[in-house]
Chains A and B, each alone.
Chain A
Amino acid sequence: MRWRKSHPHPDPLPGGEGVIAGALLTLLLAWLVCYPLLLTLREALGAPGWSLRHFAEFFHRPDEWQALWASLWISLATVLLSAAIGIPLAFLFERTDFPGRRVLGTLIALPVVLPPLVGVVAFLFLYGESGFLARAVRFFSGSKEPPWRLAGAGAILLVHAYSMYVYFYLFTRAGIARLDSVYLEAAAALGAGRARILFRVALPLLRPALLGAAMLTFMTSLSSFSAPYLFGGTFRVMTTQIVFSRLNGDNEMAMVETTTLAALAILGLFLLQRTEKRRSVAGTIRGAPPARRQLRGGGLVAVLGWLLAVFLLLPHATLLLVSFVPPGTWTVEALPPVLSLSNWAAVLSQTERLRPIVNSLWMAVSSTALALLIGFLAAWLALRRKSFWRGPLETLIAVPWALPGTVFAVALAATFSKNAPWAGRFVLVGTAAILPLGYLVRNLPLTGRAAFAGLRQIDPALDEAGASLGAGKWRRVTRVTLPLLRPALVAGASLAFITALGDFVVSIVLYTFDTRPIAIEILSSLRMQEVGAAAAYGVLLAVLSGAVFLIWGRREQAL
C-alpha cells in the first residue's frame, strides 16, 4: 500500500465554497469551545464591572493556595509513580519474550479504557476501610476498628498510579518498538555494556516518548476528579475545590478557580506541544526494532507476570463479586455469605434503575455522532483544501483536550444558564441538551485529532486519482476518503463513546435528576448504601467500555 505524499504541494482543488464552510465551522467551534471560557474569565473579573477583587481574594485564602499546590504536587508525584511502574513493565513486555506475553501485554493496558469512576469504586471495594482486604484483616485479627482508612493524598496517589501507569507503559512500548536496533548494535560494537547502552543510547532515544507520557500523565492527573472527590475528604485539589465552591454558592470564586486551573492546563499543553514537536524529529528513525531477548527462567517470569496482571485486575474482579451481593446481607464476614442476581435484576428491570443506562447510552451515542461529524468536517476542510482556516480549526478542536473537564463543565454551566440569544446564550442548564453538549465539547479532540491524523496519512494523490477518473467531490469523499479514514474515525469514535458513557466530571456539574447518567447513579447508590447496585452499574460500564475497545481493536487488526 502506498501512503506516501507524491507531491510537495497539495494544492487545493479549485472551489471557493470551502472558505465559507470553513468560516462557519470555525465560528461554531469558537462558540462551543472559546466563548464559554471567555465568559468564565469575564465573570471571574467581576462582571458586569471589571475588578480583580475575586482574584485578590483567591490569592489571600490559604485553602485556595493549598488546593493549587495539592493539584501540582499530586500531579508530579503521579508522574513519578506511574513512570516507576510503567517503564519497567514496558521494557519487560517489549524487549523480552516469555509464555503468555501477548495476552498479558494487552490485559495490563486495560485500565486506560475503563471509566475513572469505575476504577475508583473498584478500588474502594477492594482496599477501602470496609473493602475486602480490610474485612479480611478485621476477621483474622478480631478487631472492631477498620485497620486503615483509604483517604487523603495517599489514597488519591494510589488510585492515580494504578490507572495512569498505562500511559508510560504504552508510550514506552511504542518508543521501544520504533527504536532502530542499528543504534544499539553500533553501541555494542563500540564496546558499550548493557547498562551503558541503556542509559547512553536507548533512554535518550526514548526521551521524546517518555516526555510525552509524562506530560499526558501530568495533564490527566491535573484534571482528575473522581479519585479526589471520593477519597479526598478534607484534602482538596483544584477540581474538587471548584465543585465545592459552586455547591457553597460561591460562584465568583468558582470562576476564579476555574480560570486558574485552565491557565495551569494551557501551560501544560504548551509544554506538551513542544515535546510533541521534538518527538516528530525523533520519529524519523526507521529500521528493524531490537530483537526480543528470550528470558532464562521464562516460566518464572510468566508466573510473576500473571500474578501482576491478577493484582492489577483484582479491583475489577472485586467489583464483579460485589455486584452479586444482595443488599444488607454482608455485615461482618470476611467473604459475602450470599450471592444472587438480585442487584442485576433490579438494575435491568426497574424503570427508574434503567433510566440512567438509557440516558448514558443515548447521550453518548448522540454526542459521539456529532463530534464525529464535526471532527471529520474540520479535518476535511482544513487539510483537503488549503484553507486559511486550517490553523484555527485544528487549534479549536484540540483545546478541550488540554482543559480539565471540570473547567468546561463550569464554563458551559455559566454560559447556558442565561437567555440572551443575541449574545449566543440560551438556557440549556436543566434541559436534556446540556449534558450531550458537554460530552460533545469534551469529545471533539478525540474524534478531531483522529480525523486530522488519519487524513494526513492518506496520500492526497488518491483523491486526485479519483478526480482524474471523473469522480466529483461527493463521490470522492464517500468512495475514497471515508473508507480509507474509517479505521481512524472508528478509533476516535470508540474513545469518545467510552469517555461520554462513563463521564462523571462533567455530569456532576450539569446533570438533572431526569438526565442522570450511570456515573451519577453509581455515586447516589453508594450514598444510599446500595453497594451491590453501584457495583452492578460499574460492571455494566466496564463491560460496555471494554467491549467497544475490543471491537475497535479487532477491526483495526483486520484492516
Chain B
Amino acid sequence: MKAGQPDERGDRSSVSTHNPQLIAHNPFLILDHLDKHFGGLHVTRDVSLSVAKSEIVALLGPSGSGKTTVLRLVAGFETPDSGSVLVEGENVTGLPPEKRRFGMVFQHYALFPHMTVGENVAFGLEAQKTAREEVRRRVAESLAAVDLDGFEGRRIAEISGGQQQRVALARALAPRPRVLLLDEPLSNLDPTLRERTRRELKRIIRRVGITTLFVTHEQEEAFDLGDRVAVLNGGRLEQVGPPEALYEEPATRFVATFIGRASVIEGAWIGGREVRLAAGPVWRASGGEDLAEGTAVDVVVRPEGLKLMNAPSPASLPGEVAGRRYAGRVALFDVSLDGGGAVEVLGSPDAGRSEQRVFVALDPAGPLPRVYSKEKN
C-alpha cells in the first residue's frame, strides 16, 4: 500500500469521524499495518490508523490489549516486526526515538529526579543545541503554558503529583515536537485530581494545537479527551471513531460490551431486523442485516434499551430483581432471568424492589439491541 493512503481496516463502523475530509486528505501521522511479537506473544496485530494534524486520538483498551505497545512503536522504543510509521509523509520506522521529534509524557512521568523542574524542561532544548538565552526563554514560556510560572528552581520531589504531570507535559512540548504521545497520563493521579487535570490537559493540547496520540484504559478519559477513539483488544484495532459512533453503533461485540454498560442475551437472527431470543420472545434489533436467517447471535442490549414491567407480555422475559443500585432520578436493576443469565435494566427507582418478580421488555424509546454473530466473534 502506498503511504498517504491508509487502509483503516480497523474502522468497521459506517460512521467515520467528525471531519472525514480532513482525515482522507490530510493525514499527518500514519500507522501502517504495524505488527509486533514479544517472544511467542502477538501483541500488535496489523494495526493501521491515520491521524489528522491537530487531531487528538485516544487508544483505548483493557490492560494487555497492546495499546502501550502501539504507542511505543510510534515513539520508536520498539521496532515493529512489519509495518511502518509515517509522519508528514516521512517514514520514521527506522529512526531511533531521539531522531523522530516526538514528545512523550510517560505513565510515571519519568522526570529526571536529579534535575530541577527548569533543568528537566530545558533538557530537550539543550539536546537541540539551542542557545542558552533562548533555552531560558522557552523554559519559562513552557512552564507558563502549564501554569507553573517560576517553578524553574524547584526540585521534582518537592512538587505534587499534578504539578509533576504538568512539568512532564511542559518538558515534552518545549522542543516543539511534531507529535505528542501520552501514556496513561492521568492514571498516576488520585481520582479527585484527575478530572481537573484532564480539563487542563485538554485545554493545553488544544491551545498548542499539536497532533496527539494517547493511551488510556478509562473510557471516560478517552471520550472526554479524544476527537476519535481507537479501541484495541488482543493487539487488534476493533474500531476507530468518535465517541458517539462507538457507543451507538459498536462494530464488534467486544466494543459493544467494553464501551458503556451492556448485557448479552443469546438468540438467533430471523431476518427483517428481528431476533428470536433463546427464551422465546422476538425482539427488534439492528446489526444483523448481513446475516443468514437462523444464524446464532449474541444480542447486546444497553440498560436504557430495556424496561421493567409488572405483568408479562409476549415479548417480555420473566425474572427476579437481584439487586438495585440507586442513582438519584434513576436506578440500575440487576435482573436474574428465569431461563438463566442476567440483564441490567435502567428504570425509575420505584420500578422494582429486591426479589420482586418482574418482566423485562424492550423500551421503545431506548436504543435498539445490536446482534453479533457468534461465529464471527
Closest B residue to A465 by CB, please name it.
B110
Which residues of B have CB within 8 Å of A6? 106-108, 110, 183
B71 shortest CB reach to chain A, Å: 10
Answer whether residue A62 sits at the interface, using C-beta atoms and an 8 A cutoff: no
Which residues of A have CB within 8 Å of B76? 14, 467
Closest A residue to B96 by CB, please name it.
A14
Answer whether residue A468 sits at the interface, using C-beta atoms and an 8 A cutoff: yes
- A468 and B108 within 8 A (CB): no
- Taken residue by residue from 312 to 329, chain A's Cβ proximity to chain B (1 for < 8 Å, 0 otherwise) reads as 000000000000000000
A475 shortest CB reach to chain B, Å: 6
B183 shortest CB reach to chain A, Å: 7
Interface size (A, Cβ < 8 Å)?
Answer: 27
B56 shortest CB reach to chain A, Å: 18
| Also in contact, A479 and B123, with CB within 8 A (given A468-B97, A468-B103) | yes
Which residues of A have CB within 8 Å of B106? 6, 461, 464-465
A480 to B111, CA, bound (A): 10
Closest A residue to B43 by CB, please name it.
A9
By CB atoms of chain B within 10 A, which of A9, A15, A465, A483 has the most? A465
| Also in contact, A466 and B107, with CB within 8 A (given A1-B156, A13-B96) | no
By CB atoms of chain A within 10 A, which of B107, B113, B157 has the most? B113
A193 to B308, CA, bound (A): 59
- A484 and B123 within 8 A (CB): no
Which residues of A have CB within 8 Å of B101? 470
A378 shortest CB reach to chain B, Å: 23
- Taken residue by residue from 67 to 87, chain B's Cβ proximity to chain A (1 for < 8 Å, 0 otherwise) reads as 011001001111100000000
A4 to B98, CA, bound (A): 22
- A469 and B110 within 8 A (CB): no
Answer whether residue A296 sits at the interface, using C-beta atoms and an 8 A cutoff: no
Answer whether residue A554 sits at the interface, using C-beta atoms and an 8 A cutoff: no
Which residues of A have CB within 8 Å of B75? 464, 468
Closest B residue to A10 by CB, please name it.
B77
A200 shortest CB reach to chain B, Å: 38
Which residues of B have CB within 8 Å of A480? 112
| Also in contact, A470 and B72, with CB within 8 A (given A14-B79, A464-B106, A484-B113) | no
A466 shortest CB reach to chain B, Å: 7
- The DSSP consensus for interface residues of chain B is mixed
- B127 and A472 within 8 A (CB): yes
**Could you say which of A7, A461, A470 contacts B98, with CB atoms under 8 Å apart?**
A470
**Could you say which of A468, A472, A475 contacts B102, with CB atoms under 8 Å apart?**
A468
| Also in contact, A1 and B157, with CB within 8 A (given A6-B110, A470-B175, A479-B123) | yes
Answer whether residue A462 sits at the interface, using C-beta atoms and an 8 A cutoff: yes
Interface of A toward B, CB cutoff 8 Å: 1-2, 4, 6-7, 9, 11, 13-15, 459, 461-462, 464-472, 475, 479-480, 483-484
Which residues of A have CB within 8 Å of B183? 6
A-B contact pairs, 14 of them (CB 8 A): A6-B107, A9-B69, A11-B79, A13-B96, A13-B97, A15-B96, A461-B108, A464-B77, A467-B77, A467-B96, A468-B104, A468-B172, A472-B127, A484-B112
**Could you say which of A4, A467, A475, A483 contacts B97, with CB atoms under 8 Å apart?**
A467
- A471 and B98 within 8 A (CB): yes
**Could you say which of B79, B98, B108, B172 contacts A459, with CB atoms under 8 Å apart?**
B108
Interface of B toward A, CB cutoff 8 Å: 38, 68-69, 72, 75-79, 94, 96-104, 106-114, 123-124, 127-128, 156-157, 171-172, 175, 181, 183
Closest A residue to B171 by CB, please name it.
A469
Which residues of A have CB within 8 Å of B78? 9, 11
- A483 and B108 within 8 A (CB): no
Which residues of B have CB within 8 Å of A13? 77, 96-97
What is the total of A-B residue contacts with beta carbons within 8 Å? 98
A480 to B38, CA, bound (A): 27
Which residues of B have CB within 8 Å of A475? 127
A344 to B160, CA, bound (A): 56
| Also in contact, A464 and B128, with CB within 8 A (given A9-B38, A13-B77, A479-B123) | no
**Could you say which of B68, B69, B110, B171 contacts A464, with CB atoms under 8 Å apart?**
B110
| Also in contact, A471 and B112, with CB within 8 A (given A9-B38, A461-B106, A465-B106) | no
| Also in contact, A7 and B72, with CB within 8 A (given A1-B157, A15-B96, A469-B175) | yes
| Also in contact, A465 and B112, with CB within 8 A (given A6-B183, A14-B79) | yes
Which residues of B have CB within 8 Å of A466? 98, 112, 123, 127
A559 shortest CB reach to chain B, Å: 9
- B112 and A468 within 8 A (CB): no
A1 to B98, CA, bound (A): 24
Which residues of B have CB within 8 Å of A472? 98, 127
- A471 and B77 within 8 A (CB): no
A479 to B98, CA, bound (A): 15
A1 to B112, CA, bound (A): 9
- A11 and B77 within 8 A (CB): yes
A395 to B76, CA, bound (A): 31
5 further A-B pairs in the complex, CB-CB below 8 A; given A464-B97, A469-B172, A471-B124: A2-B109, A7-B107, A466-B98, A468-B103, A472-B98
A2 to B165, CA, bound (A): 12
Which residues of A have CB within 8 Å of B107? 6-7, 461
Which residues of A have CB within 8 Å of B123? 466, 469, 471, 479
By CB atoms of chain A within 10 A, which of B75, B104, B157 has the most? B104
Closest B residue to A464 by CB, please name it.
B77
Which residues of B have CB within 8 Å of A469? 98, 103, 123-124, 127, 171-172, 175
Which residues of B have CB within 8 Å of A468? 75, 97-98, 100, 102-104, 172, 181
A472 to B72, CA, bound (A): 18
A328 to B183, CA, bound (A): 76
A547 shortest CB reach to chain B, Å: 26
A464 to B175, CA, bound (A): 16
A455 shortest CB reach to chain B, Å: 15
Which residues of B have CB within 8 Å of A462? 110, 112
**Could you say which of B68, B112, B124 contacts A470, with CB atoms under 8 Å apart?**
B124
- A470 and B113 within 8 A (CB): no
A4 to B111, CA, bound (A): 12
A19 shortest CB reach to chain B, Å: 15
